[in-house]
Structure 1
Amino acid sequence: MADLKDELDTSSEVGELDDLPAPPTAEPSAPGTGPGEDPDTGLLDRAHALLDAHPVADGYSGLPWTLRHLPRVDLELGEGAVDTDVPRLREGHVGALFWALHLPEGLAGDQAVGATLEQLDLVKTVVRAHPEGLRLADTPGPITDVRHHGRVAVLPGPAGAAAIGDSLGILRSLHGLGLRALTLSGTSWASEAGLTRFGEEVLREMNRLGVVADLSGASADTVRRACVVSKAPVLCARSAARALRPHPANLPDDLLAELGAAKGLCMVPLTAEQAGPSVRDVADQLDHVRQVAGPECVGLSGTYDAGSAHPQDLADASRYPHLIAELLRRGWPEADIALLTWGNVQRVLREADFTAREAQRRRQPSTAKIAEFDG
């Protein structure tokens, strides 16, 4: 993870987001179409042009678990059995993609650790098999490479907290194998009651490594405590606004505001259950999160290949331009859209890397055991 900051900050080939020319801000009353031009066509053309410069960093894909249960697939030629393949990622202007390592409910202990290791191995195998379309960002490769070479950067994670088996040594091993995010829920040390003392030590070790904390589905107490304890930004990889859709993984406005104050990131999932049945509903969610938490606190999670139904017009990973066109229709400044699609994720990764570098100077790997804290 530490090297990822170097790629983002120093790439002579692409450069960082802040170095790119600022796109012009559209006037809400002028959607950017010429005389006699179909407004929808003009907005969609503008969306494609904007995404060419600022591609989508997608916070969640369920592809690893889905591929476990399919015969050999060719993601570079296009694959009808899944929602995500290289042609659709390119059509949707996806530049980076977190491949989730979450497991079915009921797996715990050694089973959870083993299944996570198998998924990490599968991610690496799939990426190696598709060198023209995918590049692994675990060591990491340049995640902006897609703009010049048509590749998508794959970041392994988030994994469930059960994957570390209550062991900081296993956490370090998973990080060494490429893990980039861990979800803090569903264990004795990250539960409805919040983070225990051991849970706080896990989070401190994640900061030292550069593993980003995912709080989607975590309890309110866990979210609040993690925002206080973590020295790096946290994210919610699959959370929308509960004020609009009363889903348990969605965040109430008070937590959205706290997440924004902590410079965290709420990544709105493109699922009908959490965001709503239409592209307008998803845009409503993005409007709300942006208003409550701020434009630097909102991102996107396709949540494709995770067993969820998707809103109309957002059926697969190729459909991001249609969502961006809707935001342009609503008068979103192009600078805010650039933050939504790419800039906010880039900031979280940079700050996680910076925090890790500083922590490694001051702190040795933790040898703490759960029994010492919570026993």
Structure 2
Amino acid sequence: MADLQHDIPSTTEVGEDDCFPDDPFPLPAASGAELLERAHALLAVHPVADGYSELPRALAPLPWYDLELGETAVDTDVPRLREGHVGALFWSLRVPEAERGGRAVGATLEQLDLARRVVETHPEGLRLVRTAGQIIDARNCGRVAVVLGPASAAALDDSLGILRVLQSLGLRVLTLTDVAWAGPEGLTRFGEEVIREMNRLGVLADLSGAPEATLARVLALSKTPVLCTRSAAASVRPHPANLSDELLVRLGEQRGLCMVPLSAEQTGPTVPDVADHLDHVRLVAGPECVALSGTYDSGATHPRDLADTSCYPHLITELLRRGWSETELSLLTWGNVQRVLRSADFTARATQRRREPNQPPRPAGADA
């Protein structure tokens, strides 16, 4: 026995790697079907909060539709939302400038009215919500939560009173474009008052397409995280709406969200192209600052295998293949959006106890 023990090499006589040789029977890498099954299982627990949809505008010209039964004329209906594990949708109320005809407020209210009627006529599938808690309630009841916004800042007609009315009707996101008080020079004094009032009301700022000076000033001024609802990484694919690494770093420091769009023009024509942007934003801004924006029913061309709202599992499968953890994926699909909404809700409650609404003078030339 002593001789046998003497023949066994010790770890002091050989390298540690020699004591633990490579596994002669390594486990095979997960197949595509296994990864897709894992993606469905993960999304069943952590569904997608989709940051941008133009479904109301896409439905407006249709003489008849039934989203609960299924509607092939659009990219979004309740069966496909459930197949894609979408738990919440941000519905755009933005009206293209060419369609406003000088009546941005009225056109936005019509969009808001249309969105509310769509939800009311599909109560088994959709539920209109305002807060992060109501999103959870809708999900627990088997409904897809609908959040109203973004709307264009032109809808305010340079009035904080109109902002308060829109918020009372359910608006949660405002895009800071198409107005003189948030332009290439940054925010005017009135623009800064708009941001303070948005914080007080719990309305989130969307900086997609905003001039860089405006984006930088809002990041410095806002007490709540901001959104870029349709922005990817400019260093991966140059595009006017995509963000530079410098801005992504600042967005990460502010704990805002870069909501990467599923748009072939901005992110590329394939699922791996979209995943490249998500990888880059996660690396530069951090895993708590990246989310998803389907841009469905907006007229955008989508990457292959991401044609409609049922396709999110294909994207999650690609990210699993790249080694994203379950925690990172849960933040991407659901957790980050919930955090930002809860932060805005908390800030609004705290601010309303300290500050009354104000109405600064309208900007010079506002009535022109």
Normalised TM-score (structure 1): 0.88
Q: Distance in 2 between matches of 1:85 and 1:265?
A: 26
Question: What runs of 5+ residues in structure 1 fail to find an aligned partner?
Answer: 1-33
Q: Distance in 2 between matches of 1:362 and 1:147?
A: 33
Measure how far apart 1:185 and its partner are: 1.2
Find the counterpart in structure 1 of residue 34 from structure 2.
42
Measure how far apart 1:285 and its partner are: 0.4
Matched, 1:96 2:88: yes
Find the partner of 1:118 among 95, 110, 117: 110
Counterpart AA for 1:334? E
* RMSD of aligned residue pairs (Cα, Å): 1.9
Find the partner of 2:252 among 243, 253, 260: 260
Contact 1:190 1:199 in 2 (8 A): yes
Kindly provide the CA deviation profile for residues 230-287 of structure 1, in whole angstroms up to 9, marking residues without a partner as x: 0010010000001111110100100000000011100000000011100000000000
Measure how far apart 1:72 and its partner are: 1.9
Find the partner of 1:291 among 280, 283, 291: 283
Q: Secondary structure at the match of 1:142?
A: helix
Superposed, 1:321-360 pairs within 5 Å as 321-360=313-352
Q: Distance in 1 between matches of 2:131 and 2:35?
A: 38
Superposition misfits of 4+ residues, deviation over 4 angstroms = 34-38, 107-110, 372-375
Question: What runs of 5+ residues in structure 2 fail to find an aligned partner?
Answer: 1-25
Contact 1:137 1:153 in 2 (8 A): yes
Find the counterpart in structure 2 of residue 183 from structure 1.
175
Find the counterpart in structure 1 of residue 6 from structure 2.
none
Find the counterpart in structure 2 of residue 63 from structure 1.
55
Contact 2:291 2:332 in 1 (8 A): yes
Find the counterpart in structure 2 of residue 79 from structure 1.
71
Find the counterpart in structure 2 of residue 225 from structure 1.
217
Classify 1:219/1:141 alpha carbon distance in 2 versus 1 (closer, same or farther; 3 Å).
same
Contact 1:54 1:341 in 2 (8 A): yes
Find the partner of 1:161 among 153, 156, 164: 153
Matched, 1:135 2:138: no
Measure how far apart 1:38 and its partner are: 6.7
Contact 1:101 1:120 in 2 (8 A): yes
Counterpart AA for 2:207? L
Measure how far apart 1:139 and its partner are: 7.1
Identity of aligned residues (%): 67
Find the counterpart in structure 2 of residue 213 from structure 1.
205
Contact 1:135 1:141 in 2 (8 A): no
Q: Secondary structure at the match of 2:348?
A: helix
Measure how far apart 1:193 and its partner are: 1.9
Measure how far apart 1:196 and its partner are: 1.1
Bigger relative contact order, structure 1 or 2 (CA pairs below 8 A, ≥6 apart) = 1
Larger radius of gyration: 2
Find the partner of 2:359 among 355, 360, 367: 367
Q: Distance in 1 between matches of 2:140 and 2:131?
A: 20
Contact 1:110 1:165 in 2 (8 A): no
Contact 1:197 1:373 in 2 (8 A): no
Counterpart AA for 1:159? A
